[in-house]
Amino acid sequence: MAEGEEAPPSSSSSWEKDLADALEEGGCDLETVRNIIQGRQLPAELRAKVWKIALNVVGKGDSLASWDGSLDLPEQNTIHKDCQELIDQLSVPEEEKSVLLLDIESVITFYCKSRNVKYNSCLGWIHLLKPLVQLRLPRSDLYNCFYAIMNKFIPRDCFMKGRPFHLFRLLLQYHEPELCSFLDTKKMTPDSYALNWLGSLFSYYCSAEVTQAIWDGYLQQADPFFIYFLMLIILVNAKDVILAQESDKEEMLKFLETSPANLDLEDIEDLFSLAQYYCSKTPASFRKDNHSLFGSSLLGLKDDDTDLSQALCLAVSVSEILQANQQQGEGVRFFVVDCRPAEQYNAGHLSTAFHLDSDLMLQNPAEFAQSVKSLLEAQKQSIESGSVAGGEHLCFMGSGREEEDMYMNMVLAHFLQKNKEYVSIAKGGFMALQQHLADINVEGPENGYGHWIASTSGSRSSINSSVDGDSPNGSSDGKGVKSLVNKMTVALKTKSVNVKEKVISFIENTSTPVDRIPFNIPWPDRASLERHISSSDRVGKPYRGVKPVFSIGDEEEYDTDEIDSSSMSDDDRKEVVNIQTWINKPDVKYNFPCNEVKENGHMFPSHLLVTATHMYCLREIPSRKGLAYIQSRQALNSVVKITSKKKHPELITFKYGNSNTSGIEILAVERYLIPNAGDATKAIKQQIMKVLDALES
C-alpha cells in the first residue's frame, strides 16, 4: 500500500467487533447499541446481551431466590405438559433437558403465583419463552426477560374480543378502509386471526430465525405499539389475495392466521421499513390515548370509558390537531372538517376548519353531494399549495354533544363507506377544543384564542371593529378579513355555479398563514367549562333548612347541565364486587338491569341498585363474568331531577346536586337506558320521597 494511502474499510465484521467491545465494557445503553447496529442483522452470539439491554434487565437480581420452588398450582399438570412439548421442539442435549424443563416450569409457575394469574395454554406463554430459551439464559435472566416482555410488550386484555384487537381494527380502517370493510363484511374480526400474532409476538407461526430477527428489531425499537404496524403490513401484503378469496370463512381465517409463517429472513428489512412508513402516517393519539394497554397492571386499573368496539373511527385529540398543522416537513397534517350546524360554525370555529353542514345529508342530498365534492377538491388544492389548512388526513369535528353529533356520525360513515383513507374524528369535538384552549391560555381570548378561533358572523360589531379596512357587511377584500376556510365557507354557501372554482382560487391565493379574527363570542371561564354549567352558580354545601328540589319531567333538547359522572373519583372505580352478592343484600330494595349511557353514546351493561338511602350503579366487567365495578354511589337526597326524552322514554337522566337560596347546583349527571323505565322511575321517586320526608321530620 502506498504511503499516505487510506486503508480500505474493513468487512462488515468491524461493526460487530465494535458492538462486542461495547457490550464487553459494560454500562452500554440501548441508544449506544442501536447506533452501532443500525438495523443490521444481529450476530447470534451477541443476541442475549442485546436483548437484556433492550429489556432493561441487566443487573437485575434473581426474583426466584426467595421462592421455595413448589410446583403445586392446580393447573400444574398442564404447565408441565406444555413445557415438555417446548423442550421436545428444541435441539437440546439429553443431559440438559431435565434442568431446562425445570427452569421453564419454574418461570411460569412463579409468574402465575407472583402475579396471581391462572395459567392456560391459550395464553401462548410457551411461544414467548421459546426464543428466550434458545438463548440459553440462566434461570434468573430467563424469568426477568419473560417478565419484562409480558409487562412491556404484551398488551392488557390480549384475548378474544379484547381491547387491543378493537384498536387494531381502527388502525386497519384508518389506513386500509377497503380491506377493513371486506373483513367486517365477512365477520372476520382481528382477534379471530391475530390473537397469536400479538400474544406471541409472531413466534407462534414464524420460524426460529425469523422470530429472532423480528424480535431483534422490535425490542430495539422500544415501542410496544410498533407490533401493530408489523401486523398491519402483513395484512397489507396479503390484501390482493384476501380480496380475491372466494373460499369459505374458515379457510380464509386459516389463511390469515398462518400468513406470518410465509415470512423469510430477507423479508424482515422490508417489513420494518414499511411499518415505519405506516407508523409515520398515523396520528400520535393512537399511542397516547391507548398507552394504558401496556405497562404495569397498576397503571391500567382505572376503568376506561372509551369502548373501542363501538368507536366509529380513530379519535384524535384536539391538542394534536392544533400542533400538527404548525409543524414543517413530513408528518401527519389534518384537513379539519367542522360538521356543526351553520349558526354554531359562524359563531366560532377553528380557523383552519372547512365547514360541511351535516344536516344537509338528509335535508338536501344534492347540495350535500356538491359540498363533499368541493371539500375533497379543496383538500387536494390546499395540500398542493402548501396552505396552513392543508392535510392528507381528514378529521371531522362535531360539537361534542351526542344529540347534536348524530348527523356528523352519519357523514363519517358516508366517507368510510366510500373507502376514504385517513379518516378520524376530533375527540370531544368543539367543546374539547374550547376546554383545551382554556387550559393552555387561562388569561382569556384576547391573549391568544384569536390565533385559533375565527368567526364568520358579520353582524358582530367586534369583528368589524377588530379588522382594519373591513366594510360593515364583511365583504371587503382587505387583509385579514376572513381566514382561508372562512372564504371557503362563504363560497360554499353561495348557490353560484362557480362554487368549485371559487374554493380552489381561495386556496391557491392563500398559501401562507392568514390573519385571524379575534374570538369574540362569550368564552366561559375554566371552572364553568369543566362543569358545563353557569359560572354564576353558587358552590357549596346545601343551605340549611332548604329542602332539595326534586322533579320528573321531559328532558330539554339541549341540556346545559351536562356533567358526566366520569368525574367520579378513581377510588370508586377500582372497587370490584360480585353482582349477585350485592343484589341479594338485605338493604337493596330494587335492582334494575340497564345500560349506562355516556355522552359519546357508548353504552355499558350495568345494574341500578336502590337502597333506603342510596342508588348504586354497578358496571359489568366483560372479561370477568358476574363481577362489576362500583361506577357510582349517589345519595337519594342529592337527586334534584329525573328526566326522560319523549322519543326515547326508556332513556332516563338523573341529575344530582344541591339546593340553596340562589337555585340548584348540578354536580353530576348520569344517563341510563332502562327497560320498563316507568316502573323504575316510579320506585326510585317513591324511595326519594321517603328519604326527604324523613329528613324533614
Q: Where are the domains of the chain?
A: 15-153, 163-298, 312-440, 573-696
Task: Specify whether domain 163-298 bears CATH 1.10.472.80.
Answer: yes
CA angle 3, 4, 9 (to 5 degrees): 110
Percent of the chain with pLDDT over 90: 41
Q: From CA 532, how far away is CA 65, in angstroms rounded?
A: 55
505 pLDDT tier (thresholds 50, 70, 90):
very low
Q: What is the mean pLDDT of residues 73-89?
A: 93
Q: From CA 212, how far away is CA 130, in angstroms rounded?
A: 10
pLDDT at residue 135 in the model: 92
Does pLDDT of 214 surpass 90? yes
pLDDT at residue 457 in the model: 55
Lowest mean pLDDT among 144-153, 272-281, 288-297, 341-350: 288-297
pLDDT at residue 78 in the model: 95
CATH architecture of 573-696: Roll (2.30)
Q: What is the mean pLDDT of residues 581-599?
A: 88
C-alpha cell at 75: 393447573
* Cβ(321)–Cβ(395) below 8 Å: yes
* Cβ(345)–Cβ(356) below 8 Å: no
> Long-range contacts of range 489-498, CB-CB < 8 Å, 24 or more positions apart?
489/345, 489/354, 489/355, 489/456, 490/456, 491/374, 492/355, 492/371, 492/374, 493/342
Query: Amino acid identity of 37?
Result: I
Q: What is the mean pLDDT of residues 343-355?
A: 89
Out of 202-206, 442-446, 493-497, 502-506, the most confident range is: 202-206
Does pLDDT of 667 surpass 60? yes
Lowest mean pLDDT among 172-181, 432-441, 575-584: 432-441
Sign of CA pseudo-dihedral 386, 391, 392, 394: negative
Q: From CA 664, how far away is CA 542, in angstroms rounded?
A: 9
Q: What is the mean pLDDT of residues 146-161?
A: 92
DSSP states of 491-551: HHHS--TTHHHHHHHHHHT--SPPPPPPP-S----HHHHHHTS-TTS--SSPPTTPPPP--
CA angle 645, 357, 167 (to 5 degrees): 75
Lowest mean pLDDT among 6-10, 324-328, 636-640: 6-10
Q: How far is Cα of residue 594 from the mean position of the Cα atoms in its chain?
A: 26
617 pLDDT tier (thresholds 50, 70, 90):
very high
More confident residue, 641 or 458: 641
What is the rounded average pLDDT for all residues in the chain? 79
Q: Could you read off the pLDDT of 52-65 as tens digits, one per residue?
A: 999 999 989 999 99
- At residue 640, φ and ψ (nearest 5 deg) are -105, -15
Q: From CA 464, how far away is CA 457, in angstroms rounded?
A: 10
Q: What is the mean pLDDT of residues 425-430?
A: 94
Does pLDDT of 450 surpass 60? no
Percent of the chain with pLDDT over 70: 76
- Superfamily in which the 312-440 domain is placed by CATH: Rhodanese-like domain (3.40.250.10)
Out of 319-333, 343-357, 439-453, 529-543, the most confident range is: 343-357
Report if pTM > 0.85: no
Neighbouring residues of 606: CB distance < 8 A, sequence distance ≥ 6: 593, 594, 595, 596, 617, 618, 619, 620, 628, 631, 672
Q: What is the mean pLDDT of residues 117-135?
A: 92
Instruction: List the helix and strand counts (H, then E) for the chain.
Output: 30, 16
Residue 510 Rama label (left phi>0; alpha psi -120 to 50; beta): beta
**Which residues are 654's β-sheet partners?**
642, 670
pLDDT at residue 41 in the model: 86
Check if 15-153 and 573-696 are the same fold.
Answer: no
**Which residues are 453's β-sheet partners?**
350
pLDDT at residue 451 in the model: 60
pLDDT at residue 296 in the model: 62
Q: Could you read off the pLDDT of 455-498 as tens digits, one per residue?
A: 665 433 232 323 333 333 333 333 333 344 444 444 444 433 34
3 state SS of 11:
coil
pLDDT at residue 440 in the model: 74
DSSP states of 620-635: E-TTSTTEEEEEEEEE
pLDDT at residue 193 in the model: 94
Q: Could you read off the pLDDT of 513-566 as tens digits, one per residue?
A: 333 333 333 333 333 333 333 333 333 333 333 444 444 444 443 343 444 444
pLDDT at residue 86 in the model: 92
351 pLDDT tier (thresholds 50, 70, 90):
confident
Lowest mean pLDDT among 15-24, 519-528, 682-691: 519-528
The fold of the 15-153 domain, in CATH, is: Helicase, Ruva Protein; domain 3 (1.10.8)
* Cβ(227)–Cβ(201) below 8 Å: yes
692 pLDDT tier (thresholds 50, 70, 90):
confident
Lowest mean pLDDT among 89-98, 228-237, 492-501, 627-636: 492-501
C-alpha cell at 474: 364583511
* Cβ(46)–Cβ(16) below 8 Å: yes
- Helix %, strand %, coil % of the chain (to 5): 50, 15, 40
Q: From CA 616, how far away is CA 690, in angstroms rounded?
A: 17
> Long-range contacts of range 184-193, CB-CB < 8 Å, 24 or more positions apart?
186/249, 186/252, 187/249, 188/249, 188/252, 188/253, 188/256, 189/161, 189/165, 190/165, 190/166, 191/159, 191/160, 191/161, 191/162, 191/165, 192/160, 192/253, 192/257, 193/253, 193/256, 193/257
